[in-house]
Amino acid sequence: MMTIGSTIRQLRQEQDITQEQLAEALGITSRAVSQWECDRTTPDISQLPALANFFDVTTDHLLGVDISRKEYEISKILKHIQISGVSGDREETERYLREKLKIYPNEPVLLCHLASALQDIYFRHGKADTDKLKDEISDEIISLCERALRYYKPTEDNSFPKLLLIFQYEYMNEKEKAKAIISSLPYISCTREMLEADVFDGKEALEKRQSALFSLTAYMHKMFYEIYRDASYSNEQKTEILKADSAMIDLITGGKPRFFHGALAVNAAEQAVLLLKTGNTEKALDMLEAAYFHAHSYESRPDGEKYAPCWLS
């Protein structure tokens, strides 16, 4: 359980308040606040109502009584939206999160998931069919992400709201704002995937590297696909790019792509279109059959099945 001092420090940092500002509001010295946060002293019981009112929390929260309960409730909320996400009902996710944010208005992960749901509904799936609605929803998404960034702790990963902001600025054609956020992000050599295994040993280190290899395969597929979409390539060159992407996936997954069946289905369908454009109907039909096979394999893949190659499992 967190001490009252660490809870005060956490609340102060989350709300971007200095020790001096808190001290002034309570009519005490900043040194007294510092002593609390270092657990050298504790607030007098008579100061708890004022502290709770200042941070807009309960006295139980200050005393750490309901923090573990909150963490449990947040985990339940996240599990619920994960299930509704699998079913594809993003409108239900939006309604559910709006209700839960009335209880936990400053919970950054919930703010981000609501922003993500709105982005899916109104931009990825095109429900924002007027400029006025686009502007209104975009403003809400940006506001949710900016609030989330304020409430993340300094030691927490805040890449989720940044990613959502980048996507939103791209949707609204505000590329300079997107570039500003991107320029603040680390290079791939400084990412968790590249560095995490180095601070573990034995089996844990191996599992971290296997997980990183899986993630990097997904990112490489995305890069291949974005390169393929560039208008400067001929149809023949585009076909070669898609083939290279499929070969990369086949190599790393040992010929048993599981999750990557989805990517291979798209690759095969795109190749079929390119073959039709060049008049090769027979090969185009073969690629459509391959697309169906991969799509069916993706939908029917067993849950929890390990990847076949030893370097992934």
Residue 38 belongs to domain with CATH number:
1.10.260.40
Q: Are residues 178 and 71 in the same domain?
A: yes
**Residue 307 maps to a domain:** no
Q: Residue 64 above 80 pLDDT? A: no
Q: Is residue 281 part of a domain?
A: yes
Strand, coil or helix: 199:
helix
Structure tokens at 288: 């459509």
Residues in the chain: 313
Domain boundaries, position 286: 194-299
Least confident of 80-84, 192-196, 222-226, 232-236: 80-84
Same domain assignment for residues 76 and 177: yes
Find the distance separating the first CA and the last CA of the chain, reported in whole Å: 37
Check: CB of residue 134 under 8 Å from CB of residue 128: yes
**Which of 62, 78, 101 is the C-terminal boundary of a domain?**
62
Same domain for 71 and 180, yes or no, is: yes
Domain end point (choices 134, 168, 185): 185
* 313 domain-assigned: no
What's the pLDDT at 311?
Answer: 93
Would 308 be classed as within a structural domain?
Answer: no
User: What's the whole-number mean pLDDT along residues 32-56?
Assistant: 91
Same-domain check for residues 45 and 73 = no
Helix boundaries (H) for the chain: 4-14, 19-26, 30-37, 48-55, 59-62, 67-87, 90-103, 108-119, 131-151, 159-171, 175-183, 192-195, 202-228, 235-252, 261-277, 281-299
- Calculate the alpha carbon distances from 12 to 5, 32, 68, 148 in Å: 11, 14, 19, 15
Top-confidence residue, 193 or 287 = 287
Per-residue pLDDT averaged across 115-141, rounded? Answer: 92
Whether residue 136 is predicted with pLDDT greater than 80 in this model: the reply is yes
The average pLDDT across 15-41 equals 92
Mark whether 52 and 122 lie in a shared domain: no
pLDDT of residue 66: 66
Last residue of a domain, one of 62, 81, 99: 62
265 and 163 inside one domain: no
Q: CB of 193 within 8 A of CB of 212?
A: yes
pTM: 0.67
